[in-house]
Structure 1
């Protein structure tokens, strides 16, 4: 059975008519993000066996990641603009089911084109789910606890970032890459069942269509925030994409230390997400400035003194704290500034993220090839620093 959810007039109270266990419903959304992002990262740990099985190069197999990203850039805003005012519970479940179908297609595909199509479906599911998650969660918990609720949802991103690649590589070595994707599909089915039992009926009153999306983008207060987000994410990924070559140039670095440094980044990223939820609910302005400054300071420090092992360890932890806080920070800000535009704003956040990731990776690559990795990290720090400046001027309520 399900119940109807409506928006409560009191922002400190739980929405009226919500399910008996709203926080469990939020957890199932976090599980959805976990399965989606894990599926997104899996090819990175399985490129070599996939390429060998299909008789293609590793670079060509890497387009499996590209297909997901390109589809994701378009999918978030398109889904938000085209959705009728139907029960969002059904939409979230349908997007989870689409991710299951994507993994099954990839696991069984005999050729690269079919695999690319399956990965594009994942991009649609991931971007649509993430774009709508803020709006759905806002109808499950009180407004004053929305930041903490989004921390739970975005924990799925943090866990997938830490675990997806090593777990995928481990299982791929023992069961084969196709079995790994089938396993991801099975986890998706379990998540789907949990969502069906936990999520209440969720109705929305926000208008859909292209006009609300454009109106949101044209709103100066929101547009400024999206500019800050674009600068921050571009800077972050201009550096993060090339973290491995940076670390390879550190004196005394070996395989064991490399694993420790990467694990430290993952743990710090998880902690940053948790902290962002609590601080965002109480001190949003401080969070909006501190997060990009952390990314700016750490990437610039690596560009200046990245040959020192001591500097690397400290700055990578600071970087992880900042980078891990970004999703919860920006979603909490959107909910505070434009609570009536959570779906259109969520779609634009996803598009900004995906586009900026691609731009950051491309910019970093150009700088690494033309100059060196140190300059790429310095430019990344400059971009994130400009993001901090922009965020210092945005509205927070």
Structure 2
């Protein structure tokens, strides 16, 4: 293993695939509802199942990464993703599809958060936000492609083809990571690997370590904030394609194309993260991010024409990654002595929050309450951005 750009790029490929798999179902909801003769809200169980298992399994991957090495665990998780993607492609009904998506989320949970923690081990704090932003570029691109290809595949090749392609992509990433690990040379501790035999997992020790982390006020604050962010900002994203299809008459592929703009906003942030950080500072990024998300959600809720809603999708994406990248950076520093566990707790709360948001949105979309709920989420995230901006304080670099 190596800290060279090659290893970072391969982790980016795995992260790209993980995020694509996470968001690929968003533009499929209407098509899945029609195929399985259920409501759009019922079909959204494929998203909630992924989010719940993704969040809960963070509690396992954190200590595994700390004990056995983050890169090794990422390789195992990527390989499992290839298997579950193939199983999803062959699901005979909605119940099996939901179960296989839950397995997919459980496997994907070991990729992006541990890659973040690995960067936290390797990169000094002063350069960490920029490096995390590069990883974010891969995840955002994966989100964009997943949302676009999910819509296109559901209309042309069939939704199953999307999962078959994802399975192949995960397999390629896993093989390349294994090859890179074998041909490179590095001190094991540098790679985030154990330097000796791994101790057996102790539930009591893990619970004790988690309890110690939760005693730290800053840890509790960051985890609470990211859970609310997940519900308000991330939970609403899953229903933007449904809003575009049902509200403006767009096709599934066109709605998936609109969602690409959400990712474009995030990609734009990742490309200019250094400049915006220098210009606005962390507090300015958090405040601007919350404001842009709120404006984007309001446009999506009340726009009289599709063009305004499309602009809102872009603004919401740009704002989300401004706010979330700031929180990510502080998550890598909130408990350096147990960074893998701390960062995966962070991801756990993000996706548990998202699952709550998805379930609330599922109830609202079937009742025609989408616009009011989007409005409430906009107000909530505006307040959240202001609170985060007020709470941020300088950290020691290094």
- Judge same fold: TM > 0.5, yes or no: yes
Alignment check: 8 A CA contact 1:265 1:320 kept: yes
2:331 maps to which of 308, 331, 334: 334
Aligned to 1:121: 103
Where does residue 203 of structure 1 map in the other structure? 192
CA shift at 1:142, angstroms? 4.0
Is residue 2:283 matched to residue 1:285?
Answer: yes
Equivalent pair of 2:298/2:378 in contact (CA under 8 Å) = yes
- Whether 2:225 is the aligned partner of 1:236: answer no
For residues 64-87 of structure 1, what are the alpha-carbon distances to aligned partners after superposition, in whole Å with 9 as ceiling and x for unaligned? 333222211210023224566223
Change (3 A) 1:265 1:175: closer
Report what 1:132 is aligned to.
114
Pair 1:294-2:296 in alignment: no
Paired with 1:48 and 1:264, the residues of 2 have a C-alpha distance of 20
Shift in alpha-carbon separation, 1:289–1:188, aligned structure 2, 3 A: same
Question: Residues 184 and 326 from structure 1, CA distance in 2 versus in 1: closer, same or farther, beyond 3 angstroms?
Answer: same
Match of 2:84 in 1: 102
CA–CA distance in structure 1, aligned partners of residues 213 and 332 of structure 2: 13
Match of 2:197 in 1: none
Pair 1:384 & 2:366 matched: no
Which residue is 2:267 aligned to?
A: 270
1:235-261: CA deviation from partner (whole Å, max 9, x where unpaired): 2245434435655798x9866996775
Alpha carbons of structure 1 residues 198 and 284: separation in structure 2 relative to 1, 3 Å:
farther
Q: Distance in 1 between matches of 2:221 and 2:386?
A: 11
Secondary structure in 2 matching 1:341: helix
Equivalent position of 2:61 in the other structure: 79
Aligned: 1:362 with 2:359: yes
Structure 2 unaligned regions, length at least 5: 195-200
CA displacement at 1:302 relative to structure 2 = 5.3
Pair 258,65 (structure 1): closer, same or farther in 2 beyond 3 Å = closer
User: C-alpha deviations, 1:362-397, integer Å up to 9, x for none?
Assistant: 344555666744322321122112212321214442
TM-score w.r.t. length of structure 2 = 0.79
Deviates more, 1:23-32 or 1:210-219: 210-219
Query: 2 CA distance for matches of 1:264 and 1:110?
Result: 32
Q: Is the 8 A contact 1:272 1:325 kept in 2?
A: yes
**Preserved contact between residue 230 and residue 352 of structure 1 (Cα < 8 Å):** yes
Change (3 A) 1:376 1:44: closer
- Report Cα offsets for 1:275-303 as digits up to 9, x if no partner: 44664588223223322232134334655
Query: Are the structure 2 counterparts of residues 118 and 277 from structure 1 closer, same or farther at C-alpha, using a change threshold of 3 Å?
Result: farther
The alignment of Structure 1 onto Structure 2 pairs a total of residues equal to: 375
**Whole-angstrom CA distance in 1 between matches of 2:155 and 2:367:** 36
Q: Which residue of 2 is the match for residue 353 of structure 1?
A: 350
Distance 1:382 1:285 in 2: 19
Where do residues 31-70 of structure 1 align in structure 2 (5 Å cutoff)? 31-45=13-27, 57=38, 62-70=44-52
CA distance in 2, matches of 1:77, 1:145: 27
Rounded Cα–Cα distance in structure 1 between residues aligned with 2:365 and 2:90: 37
Shift of 1:98: 0.9
Residues of 1 paired with 2:46 and 2:235: CA distance?
20
Report the equivalent of 1:14. none
Q: 1:278 to 1:329 in 2, by over 3 A?
A: farther
My pick for the range that moved more, 217-226 or 95-104, is: 217-226
CA distance in 2, matches of 1:65, 1:309: 25
Helix, strand or coil at the partner of 1:85 = helix
C-alpha separation in 1, matches of 2:141 and 2:214: 31
CA distance in structure 1 between the partners assigned to 2:244 and 2:37 by the alignment: 29
TM-score by length of 1: 0.79
Deviation at 1:320, TM superposition (A): 1.9
Give the match's secondary structure for 1:307.
coil
RMSD value over aligned CA atoms? 3.6
Deviations 1:293-342 (A, max 9, x none): 32134334655x63366754554432221123344322212224433332
Asked if structure 1 preserves the Cα contact closer than 8 Å seen for 2:227 and 2:353, the reply is yes
The verdict on how the C-alpha distance between 1:76 and 1:281 changes in structure 2, with shifts beyond 3 A counting, is farther
